[in-house]
Structure 1
Amino acid sequence: MENVTIFEHPLIQHKISILRDKRTGTNEFRQLVDEIAMLEGFVALSDLPVEDVEVETPIETCMTPMIAGRKLAVVPILRAGLGMVSGILALVPSAKVGHIGMYRDEETHEPQEYYCKLPDPIAERTIVVCDPMLATGGSAIDAINQIKKHGGKNIKFMCIIAAPEGLERLHREHPDIQIYVGALDRQLNENAYICPGLGDAGDRIFGTK
């Protein structure tokens, strides 16, 4: 699929395998999510615009590239997406952070929005929407719809694990965005959980049940 990157880097695959293990505790799980987000972000942000600025080194003055314009906005889908924010901010500390709150209706499995706060103006920024799991795709699609309503244009979506159903649906609904996936899993089960997956990412990041 055009505009879709599925990572095959050994470091990302290794860390995802540890995430999957049910014996991996909260602290290690949280740290791994942070590290995977940073590794994915390194690639996802390779097209950030730069401009040459004058810098004085200990040897001489030179023109050297730095990130240009309004830079970056990171928008996690609450709550699990929060676990990926610090990894991206480690790469671009000047990034602004917005938040979109979604919860999944247990009967319909469809997302319900309860919060949306974005950096203003959002239209001039590169926007990275992050959520560890792309299952049905509903939350990601709705979050990106909201960002587009607010004027967002240059949008990327970053997840750690995706189901084929959710990836295809997101790509179909928003073919203009770039999608970055750490691992593409087999399928969704009857409860719309990713198989083999890693369980509930939010619960495992925050130590809740």
Structure 2
Amino acid sequence: MLGPMAVVVDHPLVAERLTRLRDKTTKRAEFRRNLAELTSFFVYEAVREQPVVVIEIDSPLAPTKGVAIADPPIVVPVMRAGLGMHDATLTLIPNARVGFVGVRRDEETFMPHAYVNTVPEHLAGRRVLVLDPMLATGGSLIHTCELLRHASAGHMTVVCVLASPQGVATFGDAGDRQFGLA
């Protein structure tokens, strides 16, 4: 069972692209295109509650009001797989800052270890979008979120295309215990 903070985007266009993404006969270019399209659908939903500010603009007919994202989230792809979600995310949120985290498992201790971390040291409560297409065991994602929390990240939203039951359970339990998620 998914926790109250997990959102499943249940839509025929998502299901169709997910089917193509999972098909072992899908060629590389089509795989990338489907991953990008799925990312767009999911990021669209992930930023639904993003704060906005009212701005004044000049339309062709008259001055009017519109909105702009108040403080674009920091986008953090988990390398390498999260890089496939990077461009589609920045197409939707072009002013977002980006930090990269690369995590691998130590072959002796089996513990996750960051081999790349370009996230700013002090996020000062900023919203963060973490991009990781596959939530398998949850180890890399938990480690990434721990790094972000240590850097004082504010609200974190994880965007995954696929998630295993084990990964959802592990991440949910770890999130509840470590980050105060309900």
Does TM, scored on the shorter chain, surpass 0.5?
yes
Q: Counterpart of 2:160 in 1: which secondary structure?
A: strand
Q: How many residues align?
A: 177
State the partner residue of 1:10: 12
**Structure 2 Cα separation of the partners of residues 115 and 55 of structure 1:** 41
Structure 2 CA distance for aligned equivalents of residues 128 and 92 of structure 1: 11
How many angstroms does 1:106 deviate by? 5.6
Q: Which has the higher contact order (CA 8 A, sep 6+)?
A: 1
Instruction: Give, as a single letter, the amino acid of the residue that structure 1 aligns with 2:146.
Output: N
Q: Which residue matches 2:55?
A: 53
| 1:160 Cα deviation after fit | 0.8
1:133 aligns to what?
A: 134
Q: When you count strand as a share of all residues, which structure comes out higher?
A: 1
Q: CA deviation at 1:122?
A: 2.0
Deviation at 1:121, TM superposition (A): 4.7
Given that 2:53 and 2:69 are in contact with CA atoms closer than 8 Å, whether structure 1 keeps it comes out as yes
Equivalent-residue separation in structure 2 for 1:51 and 1:12 (angstroms): 30
Identity %: 34
Correspondence for 1:24: 26
Change beyond 3 A, Cα 1:90–1:105:
same
Report the more deviating stretch, 114-123 or 20-29. 114-123
Unaligned runs of 5+ in 1: 179-209
Q: TM-score, normalised by structure 2?
A: 0.90
Deviation at 1:36, TM superposition (A): 0.5
The 5-angstrom pairing of residues 43-192 of structure 1 reads 43-68=45-70, 70-105=71-106, 110-119=111-120, 121-175=122-176
RMSD: 1.9
CA–CA separation in structure 1 for the residues paired with 2:164 and 2:107 = 18
The two structures have a TM-score, normalised by structure 1, of 0.79
Q: Secondary structure at the match of 2:144?
A: helix
CA contact (8 A) 1:54 1:64 kept: yes
CA distance in 2, matches of 1:168, 1:44: 20
Q: Quickly say closer, same or farther: Cα 1:110–1:25, change in 2 above 3 A.
A: farther
Q: Which residue of 1 aligns with 2:44?
A: 42
Q: Secondary structure at the match of 1:142?
A: helix
Contact 1:126/1:155, CA 8 A, preserved across alignment: yes
